[in-house]
Amino acid sequence: MKISLKTSQTSGSALIVLTDAKQIESKEFTAALPQLATLIEATQYKANLNEILPLIGLNQHYPFCSFIGLGQDDELNASKMAKLAQSIIQLAQRKYATLDLDITHLPASLHYVFTLALTQANYAFDEYKSKKNEAQLEHIHLIGSTLSENQIELIHAIQSGQNLARDLGNRPGNICYPEYLAKLAQELADEFPDQLKVTVLDEQQMADLGMNAFLAVSQGSAHAGRVITLEYLPNREEAPVVLVGKGVTFDTGGISLKPSANMDEMKFDMCGAASVLGTIRALCEAKLPIHIVGAIAAAENMPSSKATRPGDIVTTMSGQTVEILNTDAEGRLVLCDTLTYIKRFNPAVVVDIATLTGACVVALGKVVSGLFSSDDDLAQEIQTAGEQSFDRVWRLPVMDDYQELLDSPFADIANIGGPHGGAITAACFLQRFTRDYRWAHLDIAGTAWLSGANKGSTGRPVPLLMQFIANRSQHD
């Protein structure tokens, strides 16, 4: 969906005007149009937040015209923008291709997150439905927006990257498997040949590098694993930001098999990888001048006669040995070797993104992603980007005191830490492989997808990652 700016109301098929309570109560406002005063009086319209008042036949320039309430100014915040955007999209979607939207009365500080929320609300996924959704909203003209052309361009790029991440998350495991992700990365590089360089490691190459923790996950599956790297602006000299995504295209748990209920949702276990691909796509479109590497650990976790057994011990690429006590703690196994592999890019900072633990969902629910880092400056940078893009995180500790929970009697480290602090011990496991660079870990198990009525991938944290990168590209 395209967003563009317009200075005033003109004419078209549909107009929505955001109104606040003060405006509705003002005598001057209603005096201009007596019928409007009658309508407001008759319907007792108060312009409460999300309250709709259709003005059919009252605006000669727009056959469809409606007010949507903003309530009281001082009660508005970024959280409320998502619902507001949904109400607006619901009114217009499947009816109009273009919409004029007057946001003059929305506080300017909310224009950015609100506009981003419009693009997010307009997403629909019908790839596998025989009967397709009716026409989507294609174009919104914002009236009274304070956004700059640069901000609009950034929003367009984020939309494109986030929608890609959502599409990938929503595609099932029989279609979206490691090789598929590698093919998609290659296609992205073909589309942006001047900006992107893609490399793909197959399992033989991984074996040669000693990535045995990774291979312990993919060995049970008929679909071979892949490590995919996408280097954005490979010719830039500065040390890159490296984004590492967990790409478990389906997580059955392996021999430590998961229960059947809701196991279908484990097709979303590649949402970290999807957010990396989405961010790289957004970067190519926004053309930000900054050196970024995306790395994807793509594998399928299956039980079979070739699958890893609980108790198996492997030597990771870093040389540390791991006792795999639970084959369902597979994310950290594919990630640890990928986090060692990406050292060759000499990263300035590394951020990994993973649907890593159910414990993180228990701790933080579906509102914020878990942020783990022992680097306060980096953590602060990510938190700030989360607030700016309304794709928020909450910091949890990674302290050495938790490391002993990962002790193993037989190897250097176990891959699970027992029942306490599961999200933290998972982060502590990764930390053992990231001591050579500045690092942060995002556990997106709660935020990457929704269940229930709105089931589907959210495309988070593409907005956060793009904001983080955009902030950095301005400073450098």
Minimum separation from the CB atom of position 86 to ligand BES (A): 24
Near Zn ion in 237-256, by CB under 5 A: 248, 251
Q: Pick from Mn ion, ligand BES, Zn ion, none: which does 358 bind, CB < 5 to 8 A by kind? A: ligand BES
294 pairs with which residues across the strands?
A: 230, 243
The correct pick among 357, 383, 457, 467 for binding ligand BES (CB under 6 A) is: 357
Is 332 a known active-site residue? yes
* Residue closer to ligand BES (CB basis): 20 or 251: 251
The answer to whether residue 422 forms part of the interface with ligand BES (CB under 6 A) is yes
Give the nearer residue to Mn ion in terms of CB position, either 251 or 352: 251
Q: Smallest distance, Å, CB 401 to ligand BES?
A: 19
226 as an active site residue: the answer is: no
The vertex-395 CA angle with 392 and 400, nearest 5°, equals 155
Residue 451 DSSP code: -
> Which of 38, 119, 107 is CA-nearest to residue 75?
107
Residues 214-253 contacting ligand BES, CB under 6 A: 251
Paired strand residues for 450 = 456
Q: Which is nearer to Mn ion, 251 or 300 (CB)?
A: 251
In the complex, the smallest distance separating the C-beta of residue 171 from ligand BES, rounded to whole angstroms, is 17
Burial of 191 (0-12, 13-18, 19+ CB in 10 A): exposed
Please write down the HEC assignment for all residues of 4-65. EEECCCCCCCEEEEEECHHHHHCHHHHHCCHHHHHHHHHHCCCCCCCCEEECCCCCCCCCEE
Closest residue to ligand BES: CB criterion? 358
Q: How many residues bind Zn ion (CB under 5 A)?
A: 4
Listed residue (345, 353, 352) closest to 434, CA to CA: 352
Backbone angles phi, psi at 416, to 5 degrees: -135, 155
How many residues of this chain interact with ligand BES, rule: CB under 6 A?
Answer: 16
Whether residue 445 contacts residue 166, with contact meaning beta carbons closer than 8 Å, is answered with no
Tell me which residues in 256-285 interact with ligand BES (CB under 6 A). 269
Catalytic residue among 80, 171, 226, 332: 332
Task: State the residues that interact with Mn ion by CB under 5 A.
Answer: 251, 328, 330
Residue 197 parent element (H or E): strand 196-201
Q: Tally the C-alpha atoms within 13 A of residue 55's C-alpha that lie toward its C-beta.
A: 23
Residue 23 binds which entry of Mn ion, ligand BES, Zn ion, none, with Cβ cut-offs from 5 to 8 Å by kind? Answer: none
Query: 422 is in the binding site of which of Mn ion, ligand BES, Zn ion, none (Cβ under 5 to 8 A by kind)?
Result: ligand BES
Report the residue from 331, 386, 417, 422 that binds Zn ion according to the rule CB under 5 A. Answer: 331
Q: Which residue is nearest to Zn ion (CB)?
A: 251
Give 242 or 354: the residue with its C-beta nearer to ligand BES: 354
Query: Residue 59 and residue 43: Cα distance in Å, rounded?
Result: 18
Please check whether residue 109 is in contact with residue 81, taking contact to mean a CB–CB distance below 8 angstroms: no
Q: Which helix (H) or strand (E) holds 409?
A: none
List the strands of the sheet with 64-69, edge to edge.
2-6, 139-143, 98-102, 14-19, 64-69, 52-54
Among 51, 100, 203, 330, indicate the residue that binds ligand BES (CB under 6 A).
330
Q: Which of 6, 46, 197, 258 is catalytic?
A: 258
**Part in contact with ligand BES (CB under 6 A); list of ranges 15-23, 125-133, 213-221, 323-331:** 323-331
269 touches Zn ion by CB under 5 A? yes
Alpha-carbon gap, residue 432 to 442, rounded angstroms: 16
- Nearest-angstrom CA–CA distance, 250 and 217: 11
Q: Residue 80 or 223: which CB sits closer to Zn ion?
A: 223
Q: Which is nearer to Zn ion, 342 or 444 (CB)?
A: 444
The catalytic residue positions are: 258, 332
- Residue numbers of the site for ligand BES (CB under 6 A)? 251, 269, 326, 328-331, 355-359, 361, 416, 422, 445
Chain contacts with Zn ion (rule: CB under 5 A)? 248, 251, 269, 331
